[in-house]
Structure 1
């Protein structure tokens, strides 16, 4: 039917008689074509008849015996005596016939065109695949009807379809030879689809013969899927293994032609046999099993009723934590499983095994028990369960073979309770379902316990009891509150023992803490406890970060969202609609985590990575367990600071970390003590000439209206501005639809890192399928480029800005142009040998980098050479894209660079590499990537110019000189864009803009060398990889923007217009830990009673200088008592330097490197106070991305 449908499509019903009359030459061509097709059609039809005849003969031979009365394969299975000789003879004839078809096809292929060569392989493949498969002894009798009624009509139709398409394509190719390949390819695709369906049916019949239960039934969705995926050779091999095993075991119940299941719905032992032979395809829910181990006391006993092959019991026994058994009613099950499963009919009234068990497990068994045996089955479960049952019972809509007693969850629950007298443990049931990995088990798994039974949670409850008791004891004894000892105390020899201070990168408080935080902070937790056990006075302080844009952006997004919701509600149909939507939203929420052990109340957290990213801000807050009436308060950024840090502290205390909570604090000016500390730090940086102010290219968020530093980014941490040279190629023929008006000149602009190669331009490239724009620029010029690059340009003041519909800055766009409409545009390329070059297609251009316009230098760019060669030599490609010969064919490679130590490369490195690496097309990305790396490295570092005024100079010398000449002549412009994709936390793609800002002069040579020396000789990173990354980051980090216009944080003390960004205010707060408890007394924002009676206003620069050992005497004008100052100073001097800092490795390029730099700046002459060690861990991965 598929083949018939294709043959009747309008495109293939053309009658040659309807062709319009052509000129004499065309009529002659048509006559030749008709004669050719007639001859070819006759040959093919005869061959097809021969093939069909031989195929049908083969059916007869295999199914009923050969004409010489040789026995049929079907007379006895499996066939022991080899194949009938007649079968071999028919197979030989079949293959010979297919050879004849292929040869006839090849004759016509040579006549019609080279595009048809693939059909020869298809014809041979037909003979090679179908023939041997049909001769196998595994072909069942039941397949006879299927083959005769379905298989060969399909094959025949498929073959005829291909031939018919060849004939028709010859007619349609009289004027357009290029379409013949497409017509044949489409026909062949339909033919092969039809053939694949025939193959699938054939192999399905084979599996049906072996009676393989739900995994092998004819028509089984599971098996059909594998067949459709082209796995029938694997299945066929499996079939042979199964048949061999059947013969070796010799179990009577395995017989040919039986139904897939035993009478009354129970599984046959063929399923067990299949699972034994192919264990990787059997289900094992390890998530469920791990939870069962958590629920059961150690050394509990468990029996899996209906355990089939016993794999659940075997897995549990391998843990050594429980004793597990399995029973099943399959005949011969003990022999099949080598004794792992005991045979017992679970529907036997009053079944009594050799013992009872603490827990009875029965997964997906009850639905296979007929209704009349249901009560007996449940009674047998209860009779053998001393404490609990764990049962899953398939729902009516669950797919599966042999389900004769499926029921709803409510009904199965009622029946279990009614028959067994057990009650459902809802807490345990929830744990089982949330951990189950198999969908149908997760939907119904439940634990039932005997009334008043508590043993199922004894193990867990006892551990929790121990945990809470220990935590309460530690808290009451203040064991984690560590102080610097007072000198002269009676116990001084003990308390003055060696100290240890570990810190952890403070988490950001725009939500709840998660598993990623726990994973990383445990490194600090392990360290502080270990050092305490060694007898050290070990301290672990912990703070909460609130500085920056994330909270500000989240609050703003929520405010806009709620405002929009109110406006929409006013326009809605009424309260009923709103209530219904709210109910639907609530019901659709899927709770995945419930930190009930962390919290006094239950909180349901949805999937946090991918799903949360698509949620609105209100939904995210709601899924954190925040009440609806509380959510509007989060429109104010301050509320985030008040709400989340206490919850973070609560969860960490329940987690049991060994933290001195007296020293905790939040950042920003909401905490006046920390605010004063940061101001002191920045005044020191300014006084030490570590800060500067200027207009610099900066990663910028248009939506936020300010620079977007690392901590303000949703993605793209560590991405910096990349400087390019923007090459201006003047358009010689400006099209009126570009609306350029009074613009004097219009340019295609290409961003390049190699301006010195512009002497070798032969053309430029555009992406035909992309959308380009014509944009107004300065000096009456217009640029043709991508919108994204034009946006970068106007933010760098290269052109005028306007506002979009959202009120955001955007370029002035004169016209929108399809890339295909730019092809063939004549251009004047600066420095090029050719006075005119043309725009050609390049199918590999990325519109997410550069301008979307690519200048072409084929002598030294393998991509450019491969693409130019494609357009010069592939006429069919030129025809497809409308590329004229004069746009590409006359243009030869222009040599520009010679690599003297690679003489075999000549003066055209890209040409040599493409030919030597056998690169035939610009679509060969992998090979071209390798060639590009070789060519660019050798050319840039070892090459010399052989053209232009700088001939004889090295490429490295010539590059800045050529760039300057181009810019001075107005032929190029300096241009920046992010070196990778950066998305702000407000959701917009960031650009590079020139911004006035304060920045820290990281990378200044003397400063950098001091830090490098410390890291190389006086620092511990615990592994060479981290050390190398740290050294690289110190060398790489340069001027860092440390100010922004708005957000949360501390204002620059000398210019209140600016707020210090979030990474810059969190580089030496470890020193603040040493005194925070004496200033804030454990109150996060410092608003409580101050232990030493000191107010934030009293914390002047001079006071901080004395406390942090930068001054030998306290300030004379301070009102703070000397005793209080000495207490503060003693804490700092005792705990510093910081012994260890723990963090994720992603903070090496920014925060950790800045920490080293700032310690070296503040305590410039005291390297003994700089950090001693960093430990950086990797990440927990979810879907190949770091979870936190």
Structure 2
């Protein structure tokens, strides 16, 4: 029986023969059919892993197949280092980040090499990992012409190509300047694209509406929501227990909100000034006025409130929001007599009728997904998404102002009504948590005079879809994924401070 070591010796023997005889180098032969193939250049902020083999073995097999058919096959390979990933990794090493150190060690870097990464910087690290990739490609028997290898960001001629590309796109009107919301890293002071993120790939800015509830003393309790039409069903306000909130002057009003909300609103071109602090416990039990119904509703504490999202304060609509329904049920069991008393007096108001629900949508969704308390966030998220979608697409309003109006239409009308009575503002949030590669939490910043790739351009989208229709794509089922991506792409920031 042949041993593994004997097999490896055979492998090394022929790999050495291939390299010495330069069998994979493609030179110009005018009378021979030519074929070009490449593996998308990988990012050199670490070594390859088993997942990469899924793609590159298919490509290598196809290159070899085309050689068997008589083609002169050019199969080059290069590497990518533009952006924040490699810079972020080096910064984390400098800060002594154990996770980053262990990651590089798992990739095969020694303590000595890691020390050199810190001393010599990103370019040294990129070249080190490029050599590791080349070593692994050769061990895998990849039939690559290595004479054309380079790293994108540190190769002048490649940078000139990218400059030409952007100048050409600008002439065609596809690179534009404007004011837009972007996912922003406050530490890097730069927009954070997908490849610059440790967490949150694919997340994008979404607009939350701020509804202004008023205390009897005149201060505004601003509640951020994606469903302003449900303000008719608000029964109370939720705040984070034990949180220290901030009083801030916003235009001619005084708002009470989380400290992080102030940072975000400043970055979203709001004129806002901190003037004091308020303890959450001092707000519990106070009454605010609903700007639409004029009802007085109480402020109560809830564990699920996140001071990092929106204003750190939310309105409670227990008939149509599973989190609010469970929060109210938990409050009825509170050890705090004031909270318990208020919770027990609250009457749930159903303001939307949907064919998918019989009585109280949020209650039925919680029962369906067996939600027992506020801590079961995964179940609550699923229940929330289901209720939101069903009511938005199938629901009609039951309130007098918009009776039988579809929820999808009522939303805009309620927004208009709130604007008319000066009870509406807005705040942008990432659609999900985003963490930059420097390990900083990102938020949305509105950038003025920022350069964007105009991916929203319909004419450009149509040209791309036409090009995709002419491509050979294997498997054919993947074609729809390309089309879907073209459809949802919107304007994307294309400049940053570093990288």
Query: Given the alignment of the two structures, is residue 910 of structure 1 paired with residue 361 of structure 2, yes or no?
Result: yes
User: What is the alpha-carbon distance in structure 1 between the residues aligned to residue 363 and residue 128 of structure 2?
Assistant: 65
Name the residue aligned to 1:692. 176
Q: Secondary structure at the match of 2:251?
A: helix
The alpha-carbon distance between structure 1 residues 911 and 1035, as it changes in their structure 2 partners (threshold 3 A), is closer
In structure 1, which of residues 676, 679, 683 is the aligned counterpart of residue 163 of structure 2?
679
In structure 2, which of residues 227, 230, 250 is the aligned counterpart of residue 778 of structure 1?
250
In the TM superposition, residue 692 of structure 1 has moved relative to its aligned partner by 1.0
In structure 1, which of residues 1009, 1013, 1020 is the aligned counterpart of residue 473 of structure 2?
1020
In structure 1, which of residues 509, 518, 521 is the aligned counterpart of residue 56 of structure 2?
521
Query: Given the alignment of the two structures, is residue 758 of structure 1 paired with residue 231 of structure 2, yes or no?
Result: yes
In the TM superposition, residue 533 of structure 1 has moved relative to its aligned partner by 2.8
- The structure whose residues are more often helix, as a share, is 1
Query: Given the alignment of the two structures, is residue 824 of structure 1 paired with residue 285 of structure 2, yes or no?
Result: yes
Name the residue aligned to 2:141. 656
Alignment of 1:411-430 (within 5 A): none
User: What is the alpha-carbon distance in structure 1 between the residues aligned to residue 372 and residue 104 of structure 2?
Assistant: 51
Aligned residues of 1:761 and 1:857 also touching (Cα < 8 A): yes
Name the residue aligned to 2:460. 1007
The alpha-carbon distance between structure 1 residues 625 and 798, as it changes in their structure 2 partners (threshold 3 A), is same
Name the residue aligned to 1:887. 342
User: What is the alpha-carbon distance in structure 2 between the residues aligned to residue 756 and residue 854 of structure 1?
Assistant: 14
Name the residue aligned to 2:389. 937
For the aligned residues, what is the CA RMSD? 3.5
In the TM superposition, residue 1034 of structure 1 has moved relative to its aligned partner by 1.8
Aligned residues of 1:919 and 1:928 also touching (Cα < 8 A): no
User: What is the alpha-carbon distance in structure 2 between the residues aligned to residue 857 and residue 886 of structure 1?
Assistant: 18
Q: Secondary structure at the match of 1:941?
A: helix
In the TM superposition, residue 528 of structure 1 has moved relative to its aligned partner by 1.6
Query: Given the alignment of the two structures, is residue 1045 of structure 1 paired with residue 483 of structure 2, yes or no?
Result: no
Aligned residues of 1:772 and 1:785 also touching (Cα < 8 A): no
Alignment of 1:165-244 (within 5 A): none
What are the superposed Cα offsets for residues 726-771 of structure 1, whole Å, 9 maximum, x if unpaired? 22222335xxxxxxxxxxx533322211111212211112343x52
Name the residue aligned to 1:139. none
Aligned residues of 2:262 and 2:272 also touching (Cα < 8 A): no
Name the residue aligned to 1:709. 193
Aligned residues of 2:267 and 2:446 also touching (Cα < 8 A): yes
User: What is the alpha-carbon distance in structure 1 between the residues aligned to residue 116 and residue 329 of structure 2?
Assistant: 65
Query: Given the alignment of the two structures, is residue 731 of structure 1 paired with residue 215 of structure 2, yes or no?
Result: yes
User: What is the alpha-carbon distance in structure 2 between the residues aligned to residue 629 and residue 870 of structure 1?
Assistant: 52
Query: Given the alignment of the two structures, is residue 506 of structure 1 paired with residue 41 of structure 2, yes or no?
Result: yes
User: What is the alpha-carbon distance in structure 1 between the residues aligned to residue 366 and residue 27 of structure 2?
Assistant: 73
User: What is the alpha-carbon distance in structure 1 between the residues aligned to residue 48 and residue 340 of structure 2?
Assistant: 63
Aligned residues of 1:984 and 1:990 also touching (Cα < 8 A): yes
What are the superposed Cα offsets for residues 572-596 of structure 1, whole Å, 9 maximum, x if unpaired? xxxxxxxxxxxxxxxxxxxxxxxxx
In the TM superposition, residue 532 of structure 1 has moved relative to its aligned partner by 2.4
What are the superposed Cα offsets for residues 1044-1084 of structure 1, whole Å, 9 maximum, x if unpaired? 1232xxxxxxxxxxxxxxxxxxxxxxxxxxxxxxxxxxxxx
Name the residue aligned to 1:814. 276
The structure with the larger Rg is: 1
User: What is the alpha-carbon distance in structure 2 between the residues aligned to residue 766 and residue 789 of structure 1?
Assistant: 14
What are the superposed Cα offsets for residues 886-942 of structure 1, whole Å, 9 maximum, x if unpaired? 63444433443344x57x83xx64378369869896557787666545543332223
In structure 2, which of residues 266, 285, 289 is the aligned counterpart of residue 794 of structure 1?
266
In the TM superposition, residue 555 of structure 1 has moved relative to its aligned partner by 4.1
Query: Given the alignment of the two structures, is residue 538 of structure 1 paired with residue 73 of structure 2, yes or no?
Result: yes
User: What is the alpha-carbon distance in structure 2 between the residues aligned to residue 869 and residue 560 of structure 1?
Assistant: 45
Q: Secondary structure at the match of 2:348?
A: coil
| Structure 1, unpaired ranges of 5+ | 1-296, 299-458, 487-491, 562-610, 734-744, 802-811, 1048-1188
Name the residue aligned to 1:236. none
In structure 1, which of residues 853, 857, 879 is the aligned counterpart of residue 313 of structure 2?
853
In structure 2, which of residues 409, 431, 455 is the aligned counterpart of residue 979 of structure 1?
431
In the TM superposition, residue 833 of structure 1 has moved relative to its aligned partner by 4.5
In the TM superposition, residue 791 of structure 1 has moved relative to its aligned partner by 3.0
Query: Given the alignment of the two structures, is residue 837 of structure 1 paired with residue 289 of structure 2, yes or no?
Result: no
Q: Secondary structure at the match of 1:892?
A: coil
Name the residue aligned to 2:88. 553
Q: Secondary structure at the match of 2:202?
A: coil
Aligned residues of 1:1002 and 1:1039 also touching (Cα < 8 A): yes
Aligned residues of 1:944 and 1:955 also touching (Cα < 8 A): yes
In the TM superposition, residue 821 of structure 1 has moved relative to its aligned partner by 4.5
Aligned residues of 2:247 and 2:276 also touching (Cα < 8 A): yes
Alignment of 1:378-457 (within 5 A): none
User: What is the alpha-carbon distance in structure 2 between the residues aligned to residue 621 and residue 471 of structure 1?
Assistant: 23
In the TM superposition, residue 724 of structure 1 has moved relative to its aligned partner by 0.7
Q: Secondary structure at the match of 1:1043?
A: coil
Q: Secondary structure at the match of 2:468?
A: helix
Query: Given the alignment of the two structures, is residue 468 of structure 1 paired with residue 12 of structure 2, yes or no?
Result: yes
TM-score by length of 1: 0.39
Q: Secondary structure at the match of 2:38?
A: strand
Aligned residues of 2:41 and 2:77 also touching (Cα < 8 A): yes
Query: Given the alignment of the two structures, is residue 897 of structure 1 paired with residue 352 of structure 2, yes or no?
Result: yes
Aligned residues of 2:185 and 2:442 also touching (Cα < 8 A): yes
Q: Secondary structure at the match of 1:883?
A: helix
Q: Secondary structure at the match of 1:1038?
A: coil
Alignment of 1:608-627 (within 5 A): 613=99, 615=101, 623-624=109-110, 626-627=112-113
The alpha-carbon distance between structure 1 residues 506 and 626, as it changes in their structure 2 partners (threshold 3 A), is farther
TM-score by length of 2: 0.86
User: What is the alpha-carbon distance in structure 2 between the residues aligned to residue 626 and residue 1023 of structure 1?
Assistant: 48
Alignment of 1:172-321 (within 5 A): 298=2
The alpha-carbon distance between structure 1 residues 985 and 933, as it changes in their structure 2 partners (threshold 3 A), is closer
What are the superposed Cα offsets for residues 857-892 of structure 1, whole Å, 9 maximum, x if unpaired? 234334434544564xx4xx24x0233566344443
Aligned residues of 2:90 and 2:118 also touching (Cα < 8 A): no
User: What is the alpha-carbon distance in structure 1 between the residues aligned to residue 178 and residue 304 of structure 2?
Assistant: 39
- The structure whose residues are more often strand, as a share, is 2
Q: Secondary structure at the match of 1:697?
A: strand
What are the superposed Cα offsets for residues 88-131 of structure 1, whole Å, 9 maximum, x if unpaired? xxxxxxxxxxxxxxxxxxxxxxxxxxxxxxxxxxxxxxxxxxxx
In the TM superposition, residue 657 of structure 1 has moved relative to its aligned partner by 1.3
In the TM superposition, residue 992 of structure 1 has moved relative to its aligned partner by 0.6
The alpha-carbon distance between structure 1 residues 622 and 467, as it changes in their structure 2 partners (threshold 3 A), is closer
Name the residue aligned to 1:364. none
Alignment of 1:862-873 (within 5 A): 862-868=322-328, 871=331
What are the superposed Cα offsets for residues 996-1020 of structure 1, whole Å, 9 maximum, x if unpaired? 3211111322222333344356431
Aligned residues of 2:203 and 2:431 also touching (Cα < 8 A): yes
| Bigger RCO of structures 1 and 2 (CA < 8 A, at least 6 apart) | 2
User: What is the alpha-carbon distance in structure 2 between the residues aligned to residue 995 and residue 705 of structure 1?
Assistant: 11
User: What is the alpha-carbon distance in structure 1 between the residues aligned to residue 369 and residue 140 of structure 2?
Assistant: 60
Q: Secondary structure at the match of 2:37?
A: strand
User: What is the alpha-carbon distance in structure 2 between the residues aligned to residue 1044 and residue 925 of structure 1?
Assistant: 35
User: What is the alpha-carbon distance in structure 2 between the residues aligned to residue 938 and residue 461 of structure 1?
Assistant: 61
The alpha-carbon distance between structure 1 residues 917 and 687, as it changes in their structure 2 partners (threshold 3 A), is closer
User: What is the alpha-carbon distance in structure 1 between the residues aligned to residue 115 and residue 98 of structure 2?
Assistant: 21
Aligned residues of 2:247 and 2:278 also touching (Cα < 8 A): no
Query: Given the alignment of the two structures, is residue 988 of structure 1 paired with residue 472 of structure 2, yes or no?
Result: no
The alpha-carbon distance between structure 1 residues 617 and 522, as it changes in their structure 2 partners (threshold 3 A), is closer
User: What is the alpha-carbon distance in structure 1 between the residues aligned to residue 390 and residue 114 of structure 2?
Assistant: 63
In the TM superposition, residue 976 of structure 1 has moved relative to its aligned partner by 0.9
The alpha-carbon distance between structure 1 residues 504 and 814, as it changes in their structure 2 partners (threshold 3 A), is farther
Q: Secondary structure at the match of 2:414?
A: helix
| Structure 2, unpaired ranges of 5+ | none
In the TM superposition, residue 794 of structure 1 has moved relative to its aligned partner by 2.5
User: What is the alpha-carbon distance in structure 1 between the residues aligned to residue 94 and residue 213 of structure 2?
Assistant: 47
User: What is the alpha-carbon distance in structure 2 between the residues aligned to residue 470 and residue 1003 of structure 1?
Assistant: 51
User: What is the alpha-carbon distance in structure 2 between the residues aligned to residue 1018 and residue 752 of structure 1?
Assistant: 43
